[in-house]
Structure 1
């Protein structure tokens, strides 16, 4: 019998297990179709989900439906915006619900969501993206049944991010890391819902961050009336950071918005409540803090929240003669007084005002007082007073704030300011009323944005109506010193409206090490390697600086008597009329440096006046690449250089991107050919050149460079009585390709040539005083190759001279033969008697015959007329 019972039991369990495993395959498509139908028939949006799974084991004895990656994407006017997303959504129901007919409603008992996103957006026209319900003008048919009905007993939300964005008011609120759960019988019209909530709150208005990841929590029992949509706060406890609050009253959903009738207060009056407002990371364990005095928060909210109104409210924050002292710190903060009201009496947002009637505290003998009020939220009117002294070193001695480096210095303030935000936005500084002074002495700061510790010996500021005047700024960092005076034009625009900071300053320095200020930032890549980021010029600066410095050290360069104007704007620095003494001469500079793009760039015009060639072309790698003459040519240089390109992360020129042109003139120069393989190669191939006698004074050259290649325009060099024309190209990689044209006097071509020339007439010899010789220099500066047509030119000259001598001797022989034979002769320009040509003889005969004929005719006519006369 027992065996039979066990067998039946085993079969039954096997059937149940098979059923539990097989059920998802039987009902999955049905559930999936119902979910798709429910969503698509309910919303006017793009709905998608990756998959739907049904399990009878996950929540046994309940059925569990899991929807993976469910998303609801808005259509126009919020095309493509995500309204809702859930990484995983779980629906729990009774197993018997799976066996209902397709026309019957399935009752859901539990809903949960993990890793979700909800984005509520109002555009500038006031339209919200959450209104996605399908509009149906047909009257509702009560006989129509919905696929799902809510018979929920509990629900849960894990790791939800809720974002509220009002583009018209420029308000952004984010509740991140929301974990919320609720338990109650939603099938009842009236129920008590037991809820637990934790989240992190951030609030931003007009790009100003008022809260960032403030921890909030609420454990509350809410009495819910489903008919009236009213929620009553019953047993509850809230925490803002560690500040406890209790709520009383109700919230009701009405046709035109929400109706509030709430009061809240701190359950105790201990000053520890105030420390509870500060995030725990900055306040430490407040349970160990010794306090006296009180701190209370009381408030009431009453009225409707609609499209045009807000509830009226009155919130009071107060403390009187309080103190606190941390057990591990030597100082106490005493005589704390806080008197603040945040009030709206009309229900109109613009009528909200904040009164900080007094905030006062003291550490040791130093007392600091603050008073301020803000009214008219559409154009906020701010009136504030600051007066007192703070020894910054005492901050960390009285409060457990974690600083990389402790603060030091004495801050003194006595300032009154009154302004409205519209005047700040429109730069109507004449409407801003300021007065008073603020100073800080002995302030020492070290931070990741500074290459070296920064010490402000003294800074003194005067507040007046139109500007904030910097009367003194005496500072030191590393081995650099700074003394700055000037004025800020829009300090409030910078502070409150994220506008650029405008100003004009005069800066003086005795010694300025650029590396003290411009140390590149080091980051770690995904591969774990350290990468150096380029130095960035701040985008928030728009200022002009007139600078003078006796000594400036940049990389390995020492600059003296530096002066000029710098305009910092739009992440760029414009250098105007920058002058400096260096390399035994002077350099003038105009141009720009910009870090706005991904790669920093520069464009510069340089004027070099009598700079030492050896120093400048050795220490400036850029010049060494353009013209590698250091150690070869000694003397001075005048030059104008136009160049542009990219900068490396340490703000030095990237030579691969360099382009521009250079015009230079050499002064008082000598040549050291022993230091140049190129020149020694030249002299070894041309024995008539001695570079010790080369005169390069006043030689002018022009060249252009781009993509690592330098093109030298042809220029002339005079070596004694030899003219040399040089032109060609070389690369930053040291490869060369030059053409050299020599105008060589024949006297340098040897005895044979000169003996032949000596036999010429003076006229012919003068025509052959010099000959052109062409040379080509290629290879590299380290291994040059030189070829020339000197041998061919000399051979051609000798051939020409031999021919001239041969022709001379032949003509002399013909002359002597002609004279001996009685042939007609003539004397050439050199006095040599030579025979006349056949054509010359014919011409002479013709001329002579003509003259004879003329004479005969004349004689005949004379005889004729004389005979006639005699006859008569």
Structure 2
């Protein structure tokens, strides 16, 4: 027994060692086989992260795991990824590992997880999936494949398949594909049992036609691998909730594919039609009451090649159907659908669509439509008719449309249109045949994206060959009313060919409040804020002539507003815009452009007799230019030129503004109490009453740049005082101004006046006006005012004392001359004594004392000289 256990133990040990060691022994070999097998069959760049080998994962099978497998195209699709799989797995028997070189390794199963397939057709019709080696000699030299595809099962999980045709701009996306199949591929003829689910989206030129359509297919396929023929035997497909059954085959030939298929809806309930609509639009279909039928029948027969497509005839029909949702009060009745999509020749351009009838009723309102589309590839020709009445309020009562507020209004249509797309593209509107009218009355719409509920009282659109005419459009929102007439010149080019929408309109309004259109309600359900700049639509080329009795903008009431507006090339241009405001008139022209990343603006303003304090207080731009203007009582004539950048919400960025203002004040004066700056200035220059300053006919020039306003120096007059003003301030309200006052001495107080009165008229005439400087700094809200008044007054007093001392010396000299008989001239000794006294006598000494000192000293010197003699 011990010996037996030892033998068993040794066997187990050897087996365990083999399980562990085998992957390491064969990993390099398998890795080289994978690289060789792929590269010798495809003309593309193949890469993967690693290849692992496991005996335990699917024992007794061997599992080969390839991580991050990718196939990348070469020219003309260079660097485009054709295929990617996060994990690609092959399963095979362990014995396959021991086969020699040249013997193909038989694969029992394979799987792929989290993969992507991108199929592209370029403008030349070339496909990126055609990567097989083209050299026949090279293909013939391959005698044996490294791997034999004898699998019996395969599985694909979470695959995304993308198809894009550059010529037609058509995109088809199959997402979240889960597909598996079972069959014995060792046989040339077999049955393959498959199960598939996916979600479908189709768009053409970035316009979505199908989105998130759920697909599923359980099918038993007969496969003839020798003749490449695949036959539908038993199958059940669902398009959303619409069931489809297939019958027939698809065969791959040397020139393409051969189709012989029939399909139909196995049941004909109208619920099948509602099942075609994605649930996000149709709502839950449980307990929906329906009557009538809905059928889809089709035949596809013929070959698909470079020059042909299979002929087909697809019928979509319903007769006298109805539906009603359980929680809605209205039903849709008398539904008729009669439509066919046909191609009889196999030539793609011969495909045509006939919608012979589409009609329904809600209550007593009936709506019908019919159309045909022919010549779809070369020059689509469209013929359509619309006729009927739609009560918009009933739509939301019969169908689960998700709206914040229900629509109301009556739509009436009676329109016939016939046109071809080449005429639309070339602007040959004479080839378009339009007739009929569409009217809308009492239309109401409310949404969180709009500031106020929007109402169209009445609108009438007339269709004619040259244009679509808006004969009437009377609407209101909030406190605003508007009445518009005009025309659209190329509506079809805009609708079908992404052309610019052109139009000319006239608008009148009694009351137009900008806030009714511009202010949006805050969305309390979202914390996100948009940082993107507002953009003027690039698809508009519209001219509008507008008139309004009153326009309300912020807190401004503008009267008799009129002007021209052009929207083109992502810019709005204004011309001849006139309005009455602030007791005067404003003329405006300019432009706002959002074409560049940073929006720009240019503006020219003409102000005529505007009330200064009102306009410069209520208009933010003018207030920044002249913050002190709220203290000026009077009128203004001015021209203003501005340009600069705009913020994301299209308001001026003051730091970027440049331009100038040339203005003239009319009958204007100051009210200092309205300004902290003027109040501070008044307390420092008491010799001037600022309220009595004369501003009448004063002209000023201001220049703005880099956030600063530079003022050209100008001079004010106050009685016989001249005031020169110069300096600048910033849009941030900081300032640096210099005021120079040319002040007569008589305004400097009683001491100076008394001194002047004691001088001879000749000396008084020599006294010049005193220059006094005032420096204004800080900000308009917190000003700092400093003057050199004290120093200037001290200098003047010194000058006056010198003059007075000179006067007294002259008087003393004259008196001494009179005391000495015969003395006609004063001795030089006296003069020298006077000079000495002038130097020694303090300025502050009383004038009488100065006079006595002069006399005494002069006499002493005089008599000393005589005794010597």
TM-score tier after normalising by the smaller chain length: 0.7 to 0.9
- Alignment of structure 1 residues 654-693 onto 2, 5 Å: 654-693=653-692
- Alignment of structure 1 residues 425-504 onto 2, 5 Å: 425-504=425-504
- Alignment of structure 1 residues 566-605 onto 2, 5 Å: 566-605=565-604
- Alignment of structure 1 residues 335-346 onto 2, 5 Å: 335-346=334-345
**What's the secondary structure of 1:35's corresponding residue?**
helix
Q: Distance in 1 between matches of 2:662 and 2:291?
A: 79
1:652 is the counterpart of 2:670: no
Q: Distance in 1 between matches of 2:486 and 2:310?
A: 48
Is the Cα–Cα contact under 8 Å of residues 448 and 523 in structure 2 kept in the other structure? no
Shift of 1:237: 1.8
Is the Cα–Cα contact under 8 Å of residues 449 and 520 in structure 2 kept in the other structure? no
Is the Cα–Cα contact under 8 Å of residues 429 and 466 in structure 2 kept in the other structure? yes
Is the Cα–Cα contact under 8 Å of residues 522 and 533 in structure 1 kept in the other structure? no
Is the Cα–Cα contact under 8 Å of residues 611 and 636 in structure 1 kept in the other structure? yes
Q: Distance in 2 between matches of 1:606 and 1:84?
A: 63
- Report the TM-score, using the length of structure 2 for normalisation: 0.87
1:189 is the counterpart of 2:165: no
Shift of 1:306: 1.3
CA-to-partner distance for each residue in 1:599-621, whole Å, 9 max, x for gaps?
A: 54433222222333332333233
Is the Cα–Cα contact under 8 Å of residues 520 and 534 in structure 1 kept in the other structure? no
Q: Label 1:475 to 1:771 Cα distance change in 2 as closer, same or farther (>3 A).
A: same
Is the Cα–Cα contact under 8 Å of residues 336 and 360 in structure 2 kept in the other structure? yes
**What's the secondary structure of 1:734's corresponding residue?**
coil
Is the Cα–Cα contact under 8 Å of residues 343 and 353 in structure 1 kept in the other structure? yes
Q: Distance in 2 between matches of 1:725 and 1:7?
A: 119
Tell me the residue number matched to 1:710.
709
Is the Cα–Cα contact under 8 Å of residues 519 and 650 in structure 1 kept in the other structure? no
Q: Distance in 1 between matches of 2:268 and 2:679?
A: 94
Shift of 1:81: 1.8
CA-to-partner distance for each residue in 1:270-322, whole Å, 9 max, x for gaps?
A: 32332222223333454633333322221111111112221111112222222
CA-to-partner distance for each residue in 1:798-845, whole Å, 9 max, x for gaps?
A: 66778889999999999x99xx9999xxxxxxxxxxxxxxxxxxxxxx
Moved more, 790-799 or 676-685: 790-799
Q: Distance in 2 between matches of 1:707 and 1:261?
A: 76
Q: Distance in 2 between matches of 1:777 and 1:56?
A: 91
1:380 is the counterpart of 2:380: yes
Shift of 1:574: 1.8
Tell me the residue number matched to 2:217.
218
Q: Label 1:50 to 1:404 Cα distance change in 2 as closer, same or farther (>3 A).
A: farther
Q: Label 1:750 to 1:467 Cα distance change in 2 as closer, same or farther (>3 A).
A: same
Is the Cα–Cα contact under 8 Å of residues 342 and 353 in structure 2 kept in the other structure? yes
Shift of 1:251: 1.0
Q: Distance in 2 between matches of 1:130 and 1:524?
A: 50
Is the Cα–Cα contact under 8 Å of residues 550 and 560 in structure 1 kept in the other structure? yes
Moved more, 586-595 or 717-726: 586-595
Tell me the residue number matched to 1:108.
107
Shift of 1:23: 3.9
Q: Label 1:330 to 1:706 Cα distance change in 2 as closer, same or farther (>3 A).
A: same
Is the Cα–Cα contact under 8 Å of residues 65 and 89 in structure 2 kept in the other structure? yes
CA-to-partner distance for each residue in 1:189-242, whole Å, 9 max, x for gaps?
A: 111111222222222234443322222222211211111111111111222222
Shift of 1:14: 5.9
Q: Distance in 2 between matches of 1:234 and 1:534?
A: 59
Q: Label 1:332 to 1:13 Cα distance change in 2 as closer, same or farther (>3 A).
A: farther
Is the Cα–Cα contact under 8 Å of residues 723 and 739 in structure 2 kept in the other structure? yes
Is the Cα–Cα contact under 8 Å of residues 602 and 645 in structure 1 kept in the other structure? yes
Q: Which runs of 5+ in 1 are unaligned?
A: 824-872
Is the Cα–Cα contact under 8 Å of residues 419 and 431 in structure 1 kept in the other structure? yes
Q: Distance in 1 between matches of 2:525 and 2:66?
A: 37
Q: Which runs of 5+ in 2 are unaligned?
A: 826-869
CA-to-partner distance for each residue in 1:599-649, whole Å, 9 max, x for gaps?
A: 544332222223333323332333322221154222333332222334445
Q: Distance in 2 between matches of 1:621 and 1:15?
A: 91
- Report the TM-score, using the length of structure 1 for normalisation: 0.86
Q: CA RMSD in A?
A: 3.2
Count of paired positions:
819
- Alignment of structure 1 residues 295-694 onto 2, 5 Å: 295-377=294-376, 378-520=378-520, 529-531=528-530, 534-694=533-693
Shift of 1:140: 4.5
Is the Cα–Cα contact under 8 Å of residues 549 and 560 in structure 2 kept in the other structure? yes
Shift of 1:765: 6.2
Is the Cα–Cα contact under 8 Å of residues 521 and 532 in structure 1 kept in the other structure? no
**What's the secondary structure of 2:145's corresponding residue?**
coil
Is the Cα–Cα contact under 8 Å of residues 523 and 533 in structure 1 kept in the other structure? no
Is the Cα–Cα contact under 8 Å of residues 520 and 535 in structure 1 kept in the other structure? no
1:777 is the counterpart of 2:776: yes
**What's the secondary structure of 1:152's corresponding residue?**
coil
Shift of 1:375: 0.6
Tell me the residue number matched to 1:85.
84
Q: Distance in 2 between matches of 1:523 and 1:32?
A: 58
- Alignment of structure 1 residues 38-53 onto 2, 5 Å: 38-53=37-52
Tell me the residue number matched to 2:75.
76
Tell me the residue number matched to 2:847.
none
Q: Distance in 2 between matches of 1:17 and 1:581?
A: 99
Tell me the residue number matched to 1:736.
735
Is the Cα–Cα contact under 8 Å of residues 522 and 531 in structure 1 kept in the other structure? no
Q: Label 1:810 to 1:48 Cα distance change in 2 as closer, same or farther (>3 A).
A: farther
Shift of 1:732: 2.8
**What's the secondary structure of 1:294's corresponding residue?**
coil
Moved more, 301-310 or 273-282: 273-282
CA-to-partner distance for each residue in 1:232-276, whole Å, 9 max, x for gaps?
A: 111112222222211111111111211111111121233233222
Shift of 1:82: 1.8
Q: Distance in 2 between matches of 1:433 and 1:503?
A: 19
- Alignment of structure 1 residues 262-281 onto 2, 5 Å: 262-281=261-280
1:57 is the counterpart of 2:32: no
**What's the secondary structure of 1:174's corresponding residue?**
strand
